Structure 1
Amino acid sequence: MDEYDYRVGILGATGAVGQTFVRLLDDHPWFTVTAVAASERSAGRPYRDAANWLSGQPIPSSVASLEVQLAEPEAMDCDFVFSALDSSVAGEIEAAFARAGLPVVSNAKNYRQHDRVPLLIPEVNPGHLSLIDAQSWSSEGFIVTNPNCSTTGLICGLHPLMDAFAPEAVQVTMLQALSGAGYPGVSSLDAVGNVVPYIGGEEEKLATEPRKILGSLKGDRVVPADLTLSAQCTRVPVRDGHVACASIRFRGDVGAEAVADALRTFEAPAVTESLPSRPDPFVQVLDAPDAPQPQRHVEAGGGMTVSVGRVQDCPVNDVKLVLLSHNTVRGAAGGAILNAELLASEGYLDRARADAAADPATT
């Protein structure tokens, strides 16, 4: 078997994020979808019949005829799984897969703050993968998570500044797309021509997740970054693309020109260079006074590039800027696929596969 030839299962495959996994994995050079799982309502049906397909593109033919399984380890013919499960069920199911010896690359929130589970953005904190070695689900199984979709875009813009300067505090207002609420999502009567200034749990995630991602690794724990974040999260009538309007205070004397230059010149870690889903650039800085905009820029880098604009000196803090990220690609399925690519290139998926082959009782 080719070193980079993995059989992939998708948990929660019929939902909006699960469908994005199916779409993005079509013709992936390293990963082939061989199993899809969903609820009892969908189990036993061909994927084409079970999924209310939302994309304008056809269902990939390689997946359309797969029979939907229950989300149980013994039912899944694969080397590892992506989890697009709702958080109400993800915790128990993901742990069951890890105990059964299968790596889990999760988009759910349940294990993001677990001490020994990486909360991963490959261009930001690839070294946090070593936390896997301290996990105790089984000798082969482990869990890796990607951040909340709004956290992801913000951190992609902040990380180059953490490298170059010393941010002390961030005040951010998130303008979050309707697709972030899943399908069918927000009622049309609430969404059309309206802004909803509350999204349950989002502000709490933005206060905690960035500190773990940007934190330093000490043994088998992450010491959270010394950074204060204040977030307000709103739902706006945009289909795809989360916009972050951020104001940043630094510990030293930092201005807008230096921040824009740090963003333009940032280079992602060398360990990400061979990953198929790695965008180039990681962050793009746009000079137009009315950029970035979801309609124009959300698909940059196949939805994996974060766009930054309106970089200005701030009279309250030091610098203010606007960030745009694709919430269902970079902030969900695409980010998880990039995580799995890093796991493959660093040998974690091979190690799990080799251990499982040596102990058939775990498969």
Structure 2
Amino acid sequence: MSVRVGILGATGAVGQRLIQLLDPHPEFEIAALTASESSEGKAYRDAAKWRVDSPIPDEVADTTVAATDPDAVPDDVDLLFSSLPSSVGAEVEPAFCEAGYVMSSNSSNGRMDNDIPLVIPEVNADHLDLLEVQRDERGWDGAMVKNPNCSTITFVPTLAALAEYGLERVHVATLQAVSGAGYDGVTSMEIIDNAIPYIGSEEDKLENESRKLLGEFDGASLSHDGVDVAASCNRIPTIDGHLENVWVEAEDDLTPDAAAEAMREYPSLDLRSSPEQLIHVFEEPDRPQPRMDRTLGDGMSIAAGGLRESTFGLQYNCLAHNTIRGAAGASVLNGELLLEEGYL
């Protein structure tokens, strides 16, 4: 029996990618789509400017878009996926949880709240138990789990693989694709023949979300990891795939060979959307590259390469598909974890 799901913010870039991933999903059935007032009441095919690299599924195309309001979503929807802008999500997501809906959200609002689990299932699935604290503190019948920022998801699994060596300091410089800004986020005149060395609030997200993800939950509260993280974020003219340069200083000796082995052996999960190998490590010094490597593991793998010793400890590059592993796919994976752990 499939789980009936809804998508909040279904007409946007991440909403469209959610539809692409959820339509063939054997465990989830798309039962509701919501968007802004300008789209309410329209057939989805008329409301969305479809830009995903596959056709709109026929049943989805004929679905009437509802208002983003708990009263407009059927009661028998078991799980909501949210891709709302954070300003909208901050207002309406709690209302859905108060109304009893369980939500897997990609929106940035609330990620750092003490009682909202921020989860990459292969890294910190145990943090999902924070939902019990959340329900007690907020009085919700529903619940909310968040996935991290797309750039955070790219490098944190590699850090988790190296955590046994005692992470002390991490520096990361990102080269982020334009799709991470949404369809209207960066104009062609801004980005063609250019690179933009600033992405608003992005550096704070990498620095703070990473420490929460690597932290420990003792059953009552979550403590953040003590590693120092410094980030510099840059927008470059690639369409999809965030490439990141990482420098790691560890308490114990961390050689490139040991790091490569730790990353290769870092386990994936049996969730449907988990890739067979979570971190693919290249031996070639010029890999990974966005155009060539962003779809590894159907876009759900992390790619790493260029491992070498440097003045600042271990240096390497990593890459992830920012709208699949970094956004829609991450939300779907958290939805699968919610189902496996009995929250639906």
Identify the residue that residue 14 of structure 2 maps to in structure 1. 17
Question: How far does the alpha carbon of each residue in 1:241-266 deviate from its partner, in whole angstroms, 9 at most, with x for none?
Answer: 00110010001222111111111122
**1:321-336 matches, cutoff 5 A:** 321-336=316-331
How far apart, CA to CA, are the structure 1 residues paired with 2:192 and 2:220?
Answer: 47
2:46 aligns with one of 45, 49, 71: 49
4+ runs deviating over 6 angstroms? none
Moved more, 200-209 or 216-225: 216-225
**1:41-190 matches, cutoff 5 A:** 41-77=38-74, 78-136=77-135, 137-162=138-163, 164-190=164-190
Identify the residue that residue 283 of structure 1 maps to in structure 2. 279
Taking structure 1 as the reference length, the TM-score comes to: 0.92
Moved more, 31-40 or 138-147: 138-147
What is the one-letter code of the residue matched to 2:34?
A
Moved more, 137-146 or 93-102: 137-146
What is the one-letter code of the residue matched to 2:133?
A
How far apart, CA to CA, are the structure 1 residues paired with 2:106 and 2:169?
Answer: 27
Residues 98 and 138, structure 1, Cα contact 8 Å, conserved in 2? no
How far apart, CA to CA, are the structure 1 residues paired with 2:273 and 2:197?
Answer: 33
Residues 79 and 335, structure 2, Cα contact 8 Å, conserved in 1? no
What is the one-letter code of the residue matched to 2:160?
H
Identify the residue that residue 30 of structure 2 maps to in structure 1. 33
What is the one-letter code of the residue matched to 2:120?
I
Shift of 1:219: 3.0
What is the one-letter code of the residue matched to 2:257?
E
How far apart, CA to CA, are the structure 1 residues paired with 2:87 and 2:72?
Answer: 21
Q: Secondary structure at the match of 2:122?
A: coil
Shift of 1:138: 4.3
- The sequence identity of aligned pairs, in percent, is 44
Question: How far does the alpha carbon of each residue in 1:185-237 deviate from its partner, in whole angstroms, 9 at most, with x for none?
Answer: 20111110100000000001111000000001123221000100110000000
Residues 121 and 334, structure 2, Cα contact 8 Å, conserved in 1? yes
How far apart, CA to CA, are the structure 2 residues paired with 1:24 and 1:54?
Answer: 14
Identify the residue that residue 312 of structure 1 maps to in structure 2. 308
How far apart, CA to CA, are the structure 1 residues paired with 2:53 and 2:215?
Answer: 40
Question: How far does the alpha carbon of each residue in 1:284-319 deviate from its partner, in whole angstroms, 9 at most, with x for none?
Answer: 0011121000110000001000000001111x2210
What is the one-letter code of the residue matched to 1:10?
I
Identify the residue that residue 267 of structure 1 maps to in structure 2. 267
What is the one-letter code of the residue matched to 1:173?
A
Question: How far does the alpha carbon of each residue in 1:57-111 deviate from its partner, in whole angstroms, 9 at most, with x for none?
Answer: 1101121111000011121122121000001110111000000000111001111
Q: Secondary structure at the match of 2:233?
A: strand
Unaligned 5+ runs, structure 2: none
Q: Secondary structure at the match of 1:183?
A: coil
How far apart, CA to CA, are the structure 2 residues paired with 1:90 and 1:183?
Answer: 19
RMSD, aligned CA: 1.0
Q: Secondary structure at the match of 1:40?
A: coil
How far apart, CA to CA, are the structure 1 residues paired with 2:245 and 2:19?
Answer: 31
What is the one-letter code of the residue matched to 1:19?
Q
Shift of 1:56: 3.0
Residues 100 and 138, structure 1, Cα contact 8 Å, conserved in 2? no
Residues 240 and 323, structure 2, Cα contact 8 Å, conserved in 1? yes
How far apart, CA to CA, are the structure 1 residues paired with 2:126 and 2:218?
Answer: 11
Question: How far does the alpha carbon of each residue in 1:298-355 deviate from its partner, in whole angstroms, 9 at most, with x for none?
Answer: 00001000000001111x2210000000100001000010000011011011xxxxxx
How far apart, CA to CA, are the structure 2 residues paired with 1:57 and 1:210?
Answer: 33
